[in-house]
């Protein structure tokens, strides 16, 4: 069984993230979205909220599951029996950064391969960091995030 982990903070979940998961479904038997908890980052949304969004978005897709994890991504891969790490690439600069991480992960566990998918052109400028800035400043993020995410955010105060 080909299983991958798509790790990230997903703070918040964007259409770009959803696009990568949807495109991975034809490549893998199981796609785990791995919500990484990083003590050096202060997320806008809880890991539970981000997990809920993915579960709601993919509730009718049995090949998608969500896991929240701390620590090394390769350790999470071992726990869920994933031999692949999936990463989305928007720009050349993303590739340089992601390749360094992929090389480190390969050094830590040579049985885990990193696969890169480039995002569709309409999602190139959609970054969670920018979406958070728009949210903090009261802007409309409808075009960047799925309806379930937007509905939750509208009910929150920042």
Q: Over 70: is that where the pLDDT of 91 sits? A: yes
Q: Please name the residue ranges forming H helices in the chain.
A: 15-24, 47-57, 73-80, 92-108, 128-136, 147-154
Read off the pLDDT of residues 23-80 as tens digits, 9 standing for 90 and up: 999 999 999 999 999 888 889 999 999 999 999 999 999 999 999 999 999 999 999 9
Contact between residue 58 and residue 13 where contact means Cβ atoms under 8 Å apart: no
Structure tokens at 85: 């790490």
Residue 38 has a pLDDT of 85
Residue 65 has a pLDDT of 98
> Can you tell me the distance from the alpha carbon of 2 to that of 30, in angstroms, rounded to the nearest whole number?
7
Residue 26 has a pLDDT of 97
Q: Over 90: is that where the pLDDT of 156 sits? A: no
> Can you tell me the distance from the alpha carbon of 32 to that of 80, in angstroms, rounded to the nearest whole number?
8
The verdict on whether residue 126 carries a ligand-binding annotation is: yes
Residue 92 has a pLDDT of 87
CATH class of 3-155: alpha beta
CB count, 10 Å around CB of 88?
20
User: What does pLDDT average to over the chain?
Assistant: 95
Read off the pLDDT of residues 1-17 as tens digits, 9 standing for 90 and up: 999 999 999 999 999 99
The verdict on whether residue 3 carries a ligand-binding annotation is: no
The verdict on whether residue 87 carries a ligand-binding annotation is: yes
Summarize the chain as % helix, strand, coil (round to 5): 40, 20, 35
Which has the minimum average pLDDT: 52-56, 114-118, 122-126? 122-126
Residue 157 has a pLDDT of 66
158 pLDDT band (50/70/90 cuts)?
Answer: low
The catalytic residues are 17, 41, 90, 128
Ordered by start, the domain boundaries in the chain are 3-155
With 0-12 CB in 10 A as exposed, 13-18 as middle and 19+ as buried, what is 71? exposed
Q: Nearest 5°: phi and psi at 149?
A: -70, -45
Kindly report the pTM of this predicted structure.
0.95
């Amino acid at each position: 069984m080909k299983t991958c982990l798509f790790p990230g903070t997903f703070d918040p979940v964007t259409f770009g993230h959803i696009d990568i998961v949807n495109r991975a479904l034809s490549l893998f038997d199981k796609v785990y979205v791995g919500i990484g908890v990083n003590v050096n980052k202060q997320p806008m949304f809880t890991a539970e909220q981000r997990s809920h969004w993915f579960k709601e978005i993919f509730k009718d897709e049995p090949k998608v599951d969500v896991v929240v994890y701390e620590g090394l991504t390769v350790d999470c891969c071992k726990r869920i029996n994933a031999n692949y790490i999936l990463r989305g690439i928007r720009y050349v600069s993303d590739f340089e950064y992601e390749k360094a991480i992929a090389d480190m992960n390969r050094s830590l566990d040579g049985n885990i391969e990193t696969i890169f998918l480039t995002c569709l052109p309409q999602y190139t400028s959609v970054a969670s960091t920018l979406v958070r800035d728009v949210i903090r400043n009261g802007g409309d993020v409808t075009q960047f995030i799925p309806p379930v995410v937007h509905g939750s955010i509208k009910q929150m105060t920042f």
